[in-house]
Chains A and B, each alone.
Chain A
């Protein structure tokens, strides 16, 4: 005898403890198994792109902070690169090095948050989260020395950064670079070999590499599928062609592969920061001739960077005035969600949360 069961539709979110903000997912379950999932966005939509049209190019830097608020530095970086490309500004070398240092530190901070909450979604009762937050705190301290802010930095400007790093920044950075690898080892000891983590993440949320490419996925998700694509290597912006680092890849394209790629990327980012610190040269952090009110010529430009969550692109159209005519943000978190349904259907409730955590989205960036 077969028992006839009815599917149940549940709203996961927008106020659910593990939707990383105000994400909403309409899921249809058959018992514990997911038969359909549809993401619903927009609970944090602030119209950032429209607001850009009312602000000068420098003013909009503060709004980019508020898009991916756990990786504000890289948001700044993408925007100033787009403006520099549009206005033909050559940044001063010291400013670029400082931008790279802060962007790589930000990548570590963002991956720490991603890993911490990924484990939190696995149900680890906040222990790994507290550990990763402890190190993120040190990065935020460094940023506080650098620019006075801890979350919304607005540190970068077209042409460089707004102020040089103070003297006390460098010894603190040295200590951090020395100690951080041990902390990464500690996470690996706590998490990577844990049998429960392995059975909960290995083989779950698998997507083939060509599907990921076709769906415009980017960042650690793509690299966890073995696709050798990182804009820092493939389209080196700033001085990424002058630093040596490896590209961590994994083949499995499952939740564990995404986690392990992030862990390794943190190690690589530490290498990049070390290289930048060795090569940084004295000089102005911003060319004197760059005006505060940037007036790019008419035209458009698209600049993309490898943000912690994937390819972050800014498409800017200028009409020759002091404010952009149109600004469009290619948000990695948003586009990485295209494949969410494929990753979820057929798995169980618990896997849904874990897979979602492994994509690592930020609602500020998804909704903009």
Chain B
């Protein structure tokens, strides 16, 4: 059974190498500051006790007042998983976070998808183009831009 690490555990794991990175945690997930994400991602990937070699999924959510990018990480060796969230785009500003493609190549298409459909820009992504829609499509369809 894959152990889902509690937010608290992941927070303490991250705090062990980066104090200011953790922006908060709850039962199942931990929030990480956008600016420290590349370093945290690298450490989560490399450190033997975390060993998150496998990036399961990247999801972007529009919470109207801010955006959130959710990373589901899995360690194949320890068989445990963690959920890392990054807040960005406060007050419906343009959401920008650093890309984690140098750490996990699996992020390549998923980040492109999040950029295409949610408009989250991943800085440092080598080929951040639209993936589902064509270049020049107005807007990003998965945003909550049109509320009923």
Q: Do chains A and B touch in the complex (CB under 8 A)?
A: yes
B104 within 8 A of partner (CB): yes
- Tell which of A108-116, A175-183, A210-218 binds the partner: A210-218
Give chain B interface residues in 53-72, CB to chain A under 8 Å.
53-57, 59-62, 70, 72
Neighbour of A213 across the interface among B53, B79, B131, CB < 8 A = B53
A155 to chain B, nearest CB (A): 25
Map CB proximity to B onto A63-91 as digits: 1 under 8 Å, 0 otherwise: 00000000000000000000000000000
Task: Point out which of B62, B72, B106, B110 has the most chain A C-beta atoms below 10 A from its C-beta.
Answer: B106
Q: A234-B79, A313-B56 known; A215 and B106 CB under 8 Å?
A: yes
A328 to chain B, nearest CB (A): 4
In the complex, the chain B residue whose C-beta lies closest to that of A319 is: B63
A224 to chain B, nearest CB (A): 16
B142 within 8 A of partner (CB): yes
In the complex, the chain B residue whose C-beta lies closest to that of A241 is: B1
Tell whether, in the assembled complex, residue A216 and residue B56 are in contact, meaning their CB atoms are under 8 Å apart: yes
B141 within 8 A of partner (CB): yes
Tell whether, in the assembled complex, residue A215 and residue B105 are in contact, meaning their CB atoms are under 8 Å apart: yes
In the complex, the chain B residue whose C-beta lies closest to that of A49 is: B142
Residues of B in contact with A, size category: 20 to 34
Neighbour of B72 across the interface among A217, A302, A317, CB < 8 A = A302
In the complex, the chain B residue whose C-beta lies closest to that of A311 is: B56
Residue numbers in B under 8 Å from A49 (CB-CB)? 117, 142
Neighbour of A338 across the interface among B59, B60, B76, B108, CB < 8 A = B108
Residue numbers in B under 8 Å from A317 (CB-CB)? 61
Q: A42-B134, A45-B133 known; A214 and B106 CB under 8 Å?
A: yes
B23 to chain A, nearest CB (A): 17
Tell whether, in the assembled complex, residue B132 and residue A41 are in contact, meaning their CB atoms are under 8 Å apart: yes
> Chain A interface secondary structure, helix, strand, loop or mixed?
mixed
A50 within 8 A of partner (CB): yes
Q: A313-B72, A315-B70 known; A367 and B132 CB under 8 Å?
A: yes
Neighbour of B55 across the interface among A42, A216, A241, CB < 8 A = A216
Tell whether, in the assembled complex, residue A326 and residue B62 are in contact, meaning their CB atoms are under 8 Å apart: yes
In the complex, the chain A residue whose C-beta lies closest to that of B105 is: A215
Tell whether, in the assembled complex, residue B57 and residue A227 are in contact, meaning their CB atoms are under 8 Å apart: no
Neighbour of B132 across the interface among A45, A235, A325, A326, CB < 8 A = A45
Q: Please measure, in the bound complex, the distance between the C-alpha atom of A313 and the C-alpha atom of B28, giving whole angstroms.
A: 17
A47 within 8 A of partner (CB): yes
Tell whether, in the assembled complex, residue B133 and residue A216 are in contact, meaning their CB atoms are under 8 Å apart: no
A292 to chain B, nearest CB (A): 23
Tell whether, in the assembled complex, residue A326 and residue B56 are in contact, meaning their CB atoms are under 8 Å apart: no
A258 to chain B, nearest CB (A): 18
A245 within 8 A of partner (CB): no
Give chain A interface residues in 191-223, CB to chain B under 8 Å.
210-211, 213-217
Residues of A within 8 A of B (CB): 41-42, 45, 47, 49-50, 210-211, 213-217, 227, 229, 231, 234-236, 241, 300, 302, 304, 311, 313, 315, 317, 325-326, 328, 330, 334-335, 337-339, 367-368
A-B contact pairs, 14 of them (CB 8 A): A45-B133, A49-B142, A50-B141, A213-B53, A216-B56, A229-B76, A234-B1, A300-B61, A300-B70, A302-B57, A315-B57, A317-B61, A330-B56, A338-B106
